[in-house]
């Protein structure tokens, strides 16, 4: 009777014989055999990988802590890059190497578009909006948006809308909540962000932070955006992609919820567009919607662009501000850059190689491979930020330059490929400057007028990486009016340069 040991011995003998023959008679064949077997074996910096299923077992075991799992793998990698192979998904190369990020986003930008696998996942929600397209369609939308975002009139418009929203909506709401029960500050900031971005992009005010909606009420359009974003993001994390595709064909489960949510969003946008077409005038065309209508952009493109800008403008700024207040509650001082280093609004972003390539660190890339850069992990790499990478240390962003007063702090210029929270290269976030203005003004206004005290908890807040990263469960706080209106600042009084300026 054959024993497991004898079977193992026979297999080893067979492999030894094959190897010997290759060495003696055909070195090229041996090289090919080695190249085939090597990817199937786990390295020191890779998860256990097996034939056919790849690292599906490890992926499944770590599905609830993917961010930490990826970060651990990258930290152990000499190149800060790992390859993930699993059944039902393309090979994914994940990197936290700034040289690789620069190569993907700038040097060889043309070889790393988002790619069809990515756009298929988000197509039902974002359609052909600027964040979900490549090539000529992306160039056309980028050109249109860049012209709008670079205009002086828009910058003045942004300042007016942000100040009005804070004074007329945010302050009255926080005043009414002061001294009462705990409130979810993340939800406050998300509703404020939604109102602001809708006014900026379409000229329409949905009044989610008061007026038409009591704060305790559920707002259907916000719920629709939340569900569409959540389900679209979970498509990406599904171990086998055919699962969500089958549910979509059958129209059941989460895919039915996604379809219903997207319909509500389309109806919401269509009403705004129809109303604007009836009342558009050149003298009042300060928003993106008016510009697109006057330029003759098709209704489908208008709709999808507005959805992209609303989704990004609301969730990224509100996420960054939520984590900033969380950081402020745990440290004596803080700044926005350090907050986004540890809690980036977007945890990762993927591209798909058009043709075979090699990254600067020597990692080979095959056509069709997914290549993901990982801002969340990059903020936790010792090679990038040093031994104190897990510490919240705002002063790491400043240089001290001597002057007549003994020294002045200046914001460091940090490579956007080391700190890619606003993307980088040709696809760098168009609204980066406007987002910084909005976030800095809102945060400073709140801190100056109110004391924000989180509900006492010893638990670490959970970072939830959907399309944009949220704080799982929100940020429950108590609000109290300040007795003395002292100046609020996140920086030393000697800092001459705006703390929230571009770091690129």
**What residue numbers does the annotated binding site for heme cover?**
429
* DSSP H/E element including 470: strand 469-471
Q: Give the C-alpha separation, 182 to 179, whole Å.
A: 9
- Please state the separation of Cα 503 from the chain's center in Å: 17
Rounded alpha-carbon distances, angstroms, from residue 90 to 86, 172, 233, 304, 373: 7, 50, 17, 27, 16
The binding site comprises: 429
**Dihedrals phi, psi of 478, to nearest 5 degrees:** -105, 140
DSSP-assigned letters across all residues of 267-325: HHHHHHHHHHHHH--GGG--SHHHHHHHTT--HHHHHHHHHHHHHHHHHHHHHHHHHHH
HEC-encoded secondary structure of 352-363: ECCCCEECCCCC
Q: Give the C-alpha separation, 467 to 46, whole Å.
A: 26
Q: Give the C-alpha separation, 4 to 12, whole Å.
A: 12
Burial class of 444 by CB neighbour count within 10 A (0 to 12, 13 to 18, 19+) = middle
Tokens 């910096």, residue located:
45
Q: Give the C-alpha separation, 344 to 376, whole Å.
A: 6
* DSSP H/E element including 454: strand 450-454
């Amino acid at each position: 009777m054959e024993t497991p040991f004898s079977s193992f011995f026979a297999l080893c003998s067979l492999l030894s014989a094959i190897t010997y023959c290759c060495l003696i008679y055909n070195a090229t064949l041996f090289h090919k055999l080695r190249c085939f077997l090597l990817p199937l074996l786990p390295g020191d910096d890779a998860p256990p990988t097996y034939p056919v299923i790849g690292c599906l077992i490890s992926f499944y075991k770590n599905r609830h802590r993917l961010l930490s799992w990826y970060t651990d793998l990258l930290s152990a990698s000499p190149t800060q890059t790992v390859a993930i192979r699993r059944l039902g998904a393309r090979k994914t190369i994940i990197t936290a190497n700034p040289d690789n990020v620069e190569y993907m986003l700038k040097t060889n930008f043309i070889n790393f578009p988002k790619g069809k696998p990515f756009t298929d996942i988000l197509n039902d929600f974002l359609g052909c909006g600027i964040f979900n397209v490549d090539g000529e369609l992306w160039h056309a939308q980028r050109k249109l948006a860049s012209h709008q975002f670079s205009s002086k009139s828009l910058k003045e418009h942004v300042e007016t809308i942000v100040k009005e929203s804070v004074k007329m909506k945010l302050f009255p709401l926080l005043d009414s909540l002061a001294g009462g029960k705990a409130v979810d500050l993340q939800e406050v900031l998300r509703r404020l962000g939604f109102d602001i971005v809708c006014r900026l992009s379409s000229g329409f005010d949905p009044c989610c932070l008061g007026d038409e909606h009591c704060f305790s009420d559920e707002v259907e359009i916000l719920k629709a955006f939340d569900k569409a974003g959540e389900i679209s993001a979970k498509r990406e994390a599904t171990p086998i992609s055919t699962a969500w595709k089958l549910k979509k064909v059958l129209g059941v489960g989460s895919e039915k919820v996604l379809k219903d949510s997207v319909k509500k969003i389309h109806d919401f946008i269509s009403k705004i567009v129809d109303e604007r077409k009836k009342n558009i005038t050149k003298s009042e065309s300060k928003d993106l919607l008016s510009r697109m209508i006057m330029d003759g952009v098709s209704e489908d493109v208008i709709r999808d662009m507005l959805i992209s800008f609303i989704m990004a403008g609301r969730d990224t700024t509100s996420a960054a501000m939520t984590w900033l207040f969380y950081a402020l509650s745990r440290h004596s001082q803080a700044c926005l850059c350090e907050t986004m280093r540890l809690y980036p609004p977007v945890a990762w972003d993927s591209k798909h190689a058009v043709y075979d390539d090699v990254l600067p660190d020597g990692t080979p890339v095959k056509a069709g491979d997914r290549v993901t850069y990982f801002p969340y992990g990059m903020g936790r790499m010792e090679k990038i930020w040093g031994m104190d990478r897990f510490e919240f240390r705002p002063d790491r962003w400043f240089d001290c330059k001597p002057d007549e007063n003994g020294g002045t702090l200046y914001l460091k210029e940090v490579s956007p490929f080391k700190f890619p929270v606003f993307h980088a290269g040709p696809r760098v976030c168009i609204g980066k400057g406007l987002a910084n203005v909005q976030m800095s003004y809102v945060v400073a206004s709140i801190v100056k007028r109110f004391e924000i005290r989180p509900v006492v908890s010893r638990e670490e807040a959970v970072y939830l990486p959907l399309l944009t990263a949220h704080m799982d469960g929100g940020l429950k706080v108590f609000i109290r009016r300040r007795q003395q209106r002292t100046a609020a600042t996140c920086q030393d009084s000697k800092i001459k340069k705006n703390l929230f300026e571009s770091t690129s």
